[in-house]
A = this chain, B = another copy of it.
Amino acid sequence: MSVVRKACSMFPQVVGFSKRNMSFKTLDPPTPLAAHGIHVFYCPDAVGIVAKLSDCIASRGGNILTADVFVPENKKVFYSRSDFVFDPAQWPREQMEEDFLKISQTFNAIRSVVRVPALDPKYKIAVLASKQDHCLVDLLHGWQDGRLPVDITCVISNHHRASNTHVIRFLERHGIPYHCLSTTKEDKREGEILELVQNTDFLVLARYMQVLSRNFLRSYGNDIINIHHGLLPSFKGGHPSKQAFEVGVKLIGATSHFVTEELDEGPIIEQMVERVSHRDNLQSFVQKSENLEKQCLRSAIRSYCELRVLPYEEKKTVVF
């Protein structure tokens, strides 16, 4: 019957769709003026949100390249992320801001953010590290080769050691302030840290081996991304590689997550694993883990800067 026939109208095209698509070749290029915008939206679910958003972009001559909409089952919330191209002359940045603001008011958005990477300032971050500097070093490389689209306002370490010197030299060469604030049980020097990270958009804990107090989290107020060298929720707290080694797991992992007041319980952004066997000793566990930590943290920061990460329920994330 008709429905199935229609469904079938889908099929013949693949066999020999070469011809049809040849035409793609002859299309005119996109307008050179086009700039790239990203918009994320998170609000109580309602009818017609997608229509309103796409209308808005279309009405300004913008064109959606990708859109990703997510409405969790049985939850009345709505998530979307869109990439679009537009002509800044036709749609000025401030106007864009206003347009989306109107929509976010219409739908009581919990969150509505738009970014135009080519026009907006990069996110400003501070990196906190401790003895192990492999993640810090990897972030600096990512920053240097442009893969990590952030400005590093400063690096704070609570642990000085000789092996850090090449990092410190690197920071000097690139004019990134480096602060060594040795912490003690009594004095975590959170006041000083707070001072130093005042103007950052978010913090990155690159294997920072200090638990930040609830007061710190609240005074700072912005997001904090941590890398945990274990596959949460296993192996919370200290020495996860050692814990994993002693349990005799066959897979080790790393987890990047947001920092909340409960230790290692913040929403998970990314997780990665690698096989281990009886041949691995604690040292090779650590080496494999460090390799995972670097990739996992870098991926989380990149997703975050591309507005792919949104909070979901108490402890989860949507990662578009």
**Residue positions of A touching B, CB distance < 8 A:** 1-4, 6-18, 20-22, 24, 27-30, 40, 45, 47-51, 54-55, 58, 61, 63-77, 80, 82, 93-94, 97, 101, 110-115, 120-121, 123, 134, 137, 141, 144-145, 147, 166, 201-202, 217-218, 221-224, 231-235, 246-251, 253, 258-261, 266-273, 277-279, 281, 287, 291, 295, 307, 311-319
Contacts and interface: CB of A to CB of B under 8 A. Distances in A.
Contacts of A101: 6
Contacts of A235: 233
B319 A277 contact: yes
Q: Which of A134, A222, A314 has the most CB of B within 10 A?
A: A314
Contacts of A319: 250, 277-278
Contact of A221 (B4, B12, B17, B267): B12
7 contacts: A18-B314, A45-B63, A47-B61, A50-B50, A50-B64, A63-B71, A67-B68
What secondary structure prevails in chain A residues at the interface with B? mixed
Contact of A70 (B1, B3, B66): B66
A206 to B, nearest CB: 15
Contacts of A27: 74-76
A235 to B, nearest CB: 8
A45 B139 CA distance: 39
Q: What are the 3 tightest A-B residue pairs by CB atom distance, in nearest-first order?
A: A248-B316, A50-B54, A67-B69
B51 A55 contact: yes
A222 B11 contact: yes
A13 B258 CA distance: 11
Contact of A8 (B201, B224, B291): B201
Contacts of A318: 278
A13 B64 contact: no
B273 A7 contact: no
Contact of A54 (B40, B51, B93, B268): B51
Contact of A47 (B4, B58, B110, B145): B58
Contacts of A316: 247-248, 278
Contact of A69 (B24, B64, B144): B64
B45 A11 contact: no
A68 B71 contact: no
Contact of A278 (B22, B45, B70, B247): B70
A267 B281 contact: no
Nearest to A277: B319
Given A232-B247, A249-B268, 8 more contacts: A6-B112, A7-B113, A27-B76, A50-B58, A65-B70, A69-B82, A248-B313, A251-B273
